């Protein structure tokens, strides 16, 4: 479903839940609506606000996956259906994970760990375009562990000098190669 239509339905679901007494929902409808609202609020909203920024996508994808894993403990059937998001994890590929280095919300220690992995960690010989880890494992995987030397191809393709990857995070923002 197109994200704008999905978000319109999400907002509508939240409104209906708020006015469930006036809408005269029966208990089973109210419970189903609560599960949808729980998913929207606990799993989806933050990632949706980060969606316009490609550099935030890898972190947002991991966040959604970890929240879906937590959501599974609350609502098993809803979490199973929501795992369709796993078909959209191409930002977590060994190559595109390099976008995360430029993400505003990435903590410094995670950025340094990712830079180290990009410079040093050996990846698969022929990395897939999409991660194939089980979602439960992926939910527990820190972003820094997803980078490999194959991520360097991302920077080479874009013509970005990777010298900033060897700098401490505190100096990256001032480095011309980072800017």
Residue 107 within a domain: yes
Residue 172 within a domain: yes
pLDDT tens readout for residues 34-85 = 888 888 888 778 877 777 788 888 888 888 888 877 777 777 766 666 667 6
Q: Is this structure's pTM higher than 0.85?
A: no
Residue 115 within a domain: yes
Distance (Å, whole) CA 4 – CA 97: 25
pLDDT tens readout for residues 101-126 = 888 888 889 999 999 999 999 877 77
Distance (Å, whole) CA 4 – CA 55: 21
Q: What is the pLDDT of residue 1?
A: 42
Domains of the chain: total: 1
Residue 74 within a domain: no
Its domain, for residue 175, covers 89-179
Residue 170 within a domain: yes
CB 62 within 8 A of CB 49: no
Residue 63 within a domain: no
pLDDT tens readout for residues 120-138 = 998 777 777 777 667 777 7
Q: What is the pLDDT of residue 156?
A: 92
């Amino acid at each position: 479903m197109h994200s704008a239509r999905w978000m319109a339905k999400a907002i509508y679901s939240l409104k209906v839940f708020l006015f469930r007494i006036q809408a005269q929902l029966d208990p089973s409808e109210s419970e189903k609506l609560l599960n949808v609202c729980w998913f929207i609020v606990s799993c989806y909203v933050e990632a949706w606000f980060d969606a316009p920024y490609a550099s935030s996508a890898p972190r947002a994808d991991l966040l959604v996956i970890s929240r879906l894993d937590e959501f599974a403990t609350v609502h098993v059937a809803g979490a199973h259906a929501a795992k369709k998001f796993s078909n959209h994890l191409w930002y977590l590929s060994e190559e595109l994970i390099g976008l995360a280095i430029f993400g505003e919300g990435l903590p410094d220690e995670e950025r340094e760990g990712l830079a180290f992995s990009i410079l040093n960690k050996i990846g698969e010989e022929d990395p897939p375009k999409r991660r194939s880890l089980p979602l439960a494992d992926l939910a527990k995987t820190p972003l820094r562990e997803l980078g490999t030397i194959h991520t360097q191809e991302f920077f080479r393709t874009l013509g970005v000098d990777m010298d900033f990857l060897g700098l401490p995070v505190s100096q990256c923002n001032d480095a011309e190669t980072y800017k």
